[in-house]
Amino acid sequence: MPFTPFHMGAGIAVKAAIQSRFSLLIFGWAQVLIDLQPLLVIITGKGVYHGLSHSYFGATWLALAAAVSGKYLFEFAFRLIRQPQFLPISWPVAWLSGFVGAYSHVLIDSITHRDVKPFAPFSQINNLPGRVSDSAMEIFLVFCGLAGCVVLFILRERRRKD
C-alpha cells in the first residue's frame, strides 16, 4: 500500500493506547522514509519496487533514521509554530515511534504484497501474502484509525473538563 494513508490507522490506534509515550509524527515519518524506495523506482523505472527498505533489516536502519531525524525535525517544528506543550520529544518516545512505524509498515506490506521479502537479505521467503485480502487489511486499518480517533477525542474532552 505505498503512498496511502492506511498505514497511519495502526499508528493512530497505538497513539490512542499509549498517548504521550508515542509520537504519531515520527511514526508517519518512518512510513515516508520506507516508501522512498518505491517512489524512486516509480520515478526512475529502475530497481526493486519493494526492496530492502521493505525488510526488517532495512526497516531497522530506517527506524533509527526516523527516530533521530524525526526527534529534531519535529521539535524544531513545534518551536517554530509555538507549541511548547509537545516539547521535548524524549528519546524513548522517538525510538519506540520510529521502530513501531517501520516494523508495522513491513508487516502490513508483507501481508498485502507478494514481492515483499521481510527477512531479506537473509531469506527470500514470505508466507504471509494471501492470508488476508487487501480489502480486509484496508478495512482493519481504517477501523484502527477511526477507533483511535474516537479514543483520542474522548481523552481530550475528559482532560478539557478537568
Residue 123 lies in a domain: yes
If 0-12 CB within 10 Å is exposed, 13-18 middle and 19+ buried, where does residue 112 land? Answer: buried
Same domain flag for 79 and 154: no
Q: What are phi and psi of 27, to 5 degrees?
A: -55, -50
pLDDT at res. 133: 92
Give the count of beta carbons closer than 10 Å to the beta carbon of residue 39. 12
pLDDT the model gives residue 3 = 61
Quick one: 95 and 138 in the same domain?
A: no
Using CA atoms, how far residue 150 sits from 13, 140, 158, in Å, is 10, 15, 12
Domain holding 118, by residue range, is 14-131
Sequential pLDDT tens for the chain (162 residues): 456 789 999 999 999 999 999 999 999 999 999 999 999 999 999 999 999 999 999 999 999 999 999 999 999 999 999 999 899 999 999 999 999 999 999 999 999 999 999 999 999 999 999 899 999 999 999 999 999 999 999 999 998 987
The pLDDT of residue 162 is 79
Question: Is 90 domain-assigned?
Answer: yes
- Residues sharing a CB contact under 8 Å with residue 128, sequence separation 6 or more, in sequence order: 110, 111, 118
Residue-level pLDDT at 161: 87
Residues 83, 72 share a domain = yes
Q: What is the pLDDT of residue 29?
A: 97
Does residue 3 sit within a domain? no
